[in-house]
A and B are shown apart, each in its own frame.
Chain A
Amino acid sequence: MIRFLPFVLLASGLAAQTPPDVAMERSGYLAWLKKGPNSPLSAVAQQRIGDGVRLGPAGADIPLAGIEEYRVYPSGGGLVLEGPGGKRPIGRGRPYRIGKYALYLTGSQPGTVLTVFTDGAGKEPPGYYDYDASMVFTGPLLRPENPERVRILASDGMEAEATEVGTVVVPLGGRTSLRVLRIPVAGGDESELEIFFRDGTNGDGSYPAGRFVSLIPAGIGKFRLDFNRARNPFCAYSPVYACPLPWRGNVIAEPVRAGERYSGGGRENPSAGDTAK
């Protein structure tokens, strides 16, 4: 029988404290949401570049107040930003400033996406539920006989080719089986084992469409699922991001009051009726 068993290491008094690794992860994430030049809280527009994108004047693909006309388009093997000052190649991984805006490229051609960010001052990240040690589980992963590739939207709203890696069962809402996908991280050999789940807090404390949480290897054949690390998809921070369709199943029939909360500001009514394959 595949079961996830409660993982209780400390007495309840101490267990209520946020462990240092979770605290460090949260602190880095909150700092990025507040101040990062590509924080999704400050995203104001997003568009696939395709043959080219016009920015600036009213009527442009992406109107930007007070900005003269710029264009981003493919040229040679890369992409070019052309504006009043001339043109220059632009690459991924770093911001390109136009006035108060920063342009970021994500993904490879021909699917490269341009996201425009502005000063995010004044927007506060939604914060977290209090740390709850009873929301940490450890146990095995039930592997599928014939794992498949599936195309999904990852937490950043970008299409990704993921791999079915199996299911875990948690003793929440009775016994709930959760699908796990391996989603590649851009570049190199890295990936994350991800679960996109819904629960009783959706729309009532947490984001309506659901949240992502990573499965963490915890020794041979074992994995740790810590709902205190649950986090919002980027569409919770700004309506410019596509919202991933909820995954088939993965509904926990009780509230999971752990992990990241939701305080409005993203896509308020993300579609929750359909499910991804």
Chain B
Amino acid sequence: MMLELLFQAAVALTATPSPAGPWKAVLDLAGGALPFALQIDARGRVLDGRLCNGRTCQSFSAVRIEGDSVILEIADYAATLKASVRSDSLLGYYHNVGSNGPRTIPFRAARGRWPVSRAPMRLAGRWDATYYQELGTSPRVFDLRNEPGGFQGRIISSTGDYGPYAGTVVGDSFAIGLFDGSFVYLLTGKLVGDTLRGVFHAGLRTQTPWTAVRSTGPPNLKSPTEVSRADTTVPLRFEFPDLQGRLVRNDDPRFRGKVLLVDILGTWCPTCHEATPELLRLYRRYHPRGLEVVGLAFETTGDTAIDGRQVRRYRDKFGVPFPLLLAGLNDNESIAAALPQLQDVTAFPTAVFVGRDGRVRLVYAGFHGLAAGPQHARLVREFETEIEKLLDEKRER
């Protein structure tokens, strides 16, 4: 209903109106509308703006007017939103270019803010979901909740999640989206009896049907400690440059005989941002007893200058006191090549707990932030228990 109300305004016929202000925006995918929000600000003749999913926002790298159109650029993903500006609507397309050519998706927006949408209690909570694909089924967990900014959800797989989805609820139906300039994801669903049914939309055309039942027992997914495996027979070896270009190795004096927590992260990964304050807390608490932490950043470009700038920004944002190393590109093959003693590292972040003898004791895939409540508390307990156990082990090297 809300979407139907978009763009019913009169058309301005003279000069291009200012695009400044809040906008209710959608991408029109083949199977439905992906909702998100825009905020465009004008300071004199200079424009800037943000793209938001609920309260999670990112800034555009550039905002400018060309003719009767506004152009919103997301440089990190070589992506653009281009739309003609009417008095109270934007109409255009989202465009980004990959190796296979451009991806073009219709985009429209109306002035204003999405109303804060709240789900009935029967929709909120954790759901064990099953995706139906050609070659079989695939498990997910949906975490749907009412947040101060409105209805939000996370789609969690055995290897983590892409961040919060935000959107609208009408009765027992919902549509929540995640659009950051690169990911184009929409989850639509409806409660039928005690089962949720719907479609997961990826990009313009990919549609995967799913059903979900309320989580009542063990998690639908693998345990975070069962996702990745490690060779535990010999010390974990690594050697990567730090942000000053100096090579840091596993057998450097600062790590020798210490318990080591290796944080596999990416600055592009929102969950890694959530995890870092907890790692800092663990570091401050246990460092005096012999805990070291090292962050291995797998980034998006492989270009030292660009990736280094991102990781420095990350370090400064959190005040990270332990080394952050540029470990490579964020694809499975690069990670496997960089850390051949670890298998199936597919979650960001992944925490690798290393004993005083240098051997891996536990690999924990993913991270549950504060918003995950009991799961966060359990994760904190598991991390602390493992660190305490390793600190108490006899020094062997």
Binding site for B on A (CB under 8 A): 21, 24-25, 28-29, 31-32, 36, 38, 74, 76-79, 88-94, 104, 106, 108-110, 143, 147, 149, 154-156, 163-165, 182, 185-193, 214, 216-218
Chain B residues numbered 70-124 whose CB sits less than 8 Å from any CB in chain A: 78, 93, 95, 97-102, 104, 106
Question: Within the complex, which residue of A36, A91, A189 is in contact with B206, where a contact is CB–CB below 8 Å?
Answer: A189
Task: Give the dominant DSSP class at B's interface.
Answer: mixed
Given A88-B303, A90-B302, A91-B300; 17 other pairs, CB 8 A cutoff: A25-B104, A28-B95, A32-B101, A77-B328, A77-B329, A89-B304, A91-B329, A104-B99, A155-B100, A185-B98, A187-B98, A189-B200, A190-B184, A190-B206, A191-B206, A216-B30, A217-B31
The interface residues of chain A lying within 8 Å CB-to-CB of B97 are 32, 36, 38
Query: Interface size on B (CB < 8 Å)?
Result: 44
8 residue pairs, one from A and one from B, having the closest CB atoms: A91-B302, A77-B328, A77-B338, A190-B203, A91-B301, A189-B202, A108-B333, A28-B104
B336 to chain A, nearest CB (A): 8
CB pair B333 A149 closer than 8 Å: no
CB pair B93 A24 closer than 8 Å: yes
How long is the Cα–Cα vector from A266 to B253 in the complex, in angstroms? 58
CB pair B302 A92 closer than 8 Å: yes
A76-B240, A77-B328 known; A88+B304 contact, CB < 8 A: yes
The interface residues of chain B lying within 8 Å CB-to-CB of A78 are 302, 328-329, 334
B183 at the interface (CB under 8 A from A): yes
A162 to chain B, nearest CB (A): 10
Residue of B nearest to A183 (CB): B100
Chain B residues numbered 138-178 whose CB sits less than 8 Å from any CB in chain A: none
B205 at the interface (CB under 8 A from A): yes
A93-B301, A155-B100 known; A110+B329 contact, CB < 8 A: no
The interface residues of chain B lying within 8 Å CB-to-CB of A110 are 333
Question: What would 23 A/B residue contacts be, using CB atoms closer than 8 Å?
Answer: A24-B93, A29-B101, A29-B102, A32-B102, A76-B240, A77-B298, A78-B334, A88-B305, A89-B302, A90-B303, A91-B329, A106-B99, A109-B333, A109-B337, A110-B333, A154-B100, A164-B134, A189-B185, A190-B206, A216-B30, A216-B205, A217-B31, A218-B30
B135 at the interface (CB under 8 A from A): yes
How long is the Cα–Cα vector from A110 to B332 in the complex, in angstroms? 11
How long is the Cα–Cα vector from A29 to B104 in the complex, in angstroms? 9
B34 to chain A, nearest CB (A): 13
A220 to chain B, nearest CB (A): 9
CB pair B329 A92 closer than 8 Å: yes
B40-74 interface code vs A (CB 8 A; 1 in, 0 out): 00000000000000000000000000000000000
A24 to chain B, nearest CB (A): 6
A88-B303, A92-B329 known; A147+B30 contact, CB < 8 A: no
The interface residues of chain B lying within 8 Å CB-to-CB of A189 are 185, 200, 202, 206, 208
CB pair A149 B302 closer than 8 Å: no
How long is the Cα–Cα vector from A143 to B106 in the complex, in angstroms? 30
Residue of B nearest to A36 (CB): B97
B384 at the interface (CB under 8 A from A): no
B360 at the interface (CB under 8 A from A): no
Binding site for A on B (CB under 8 A): 30-31, 78, 93, 95, 97-102, 104, 106, 134-135, 182-185, 200, 202-203, 205-208, 240, 298, 300-305, 327-329, 331-335, 337-338
CB pair A28 B102 closer than 8 Å: yes
A36-B97, A149-B135 known; A214+B202 contact, CB < 8 A: no
The interface residues of chain A lying within 8 Å CB-to-CB of B207 are 217
Residue of B nearest to A143 (CB): B134
CB pair A190 B202 closer than 8 Å: yes
Scoring A25, A29, A106 by chain B CB atoms within 10 A of each residue's CB, the highest score goes to: A25
Scoring B200, B203, B205 by chain A CB atoms within 10 A of each residue's CB, the highest score goes to: B205
A93-B78, A186-B99 known; A217+B30 contact, CB < 8 A: yes
How long is the Cα–Cα vector from A93 to B182 in the complex, in angstroms? 12
B270 to chain A, nearest CB (A): 15
CB pair A109 B31 closer than 8 Å: no
B220 to chain A, nearest CB (A): 18
Scoring A104, A147, A217 by chain B CB atoms within 10 A of each residue's CB, the highest score goes to: A217
Residue of A nearest to B302 (CB): A91
Question: Within the complex, which residue of B98, B304, B335 is in contact with A186, where a contact is CB–CB below 8 Å?
Answer: B98
A227 to chain B, nearest CB (A): 16
How long is the Cα–Cα vector from A147 to B133 in the complex, in angstroms? 10
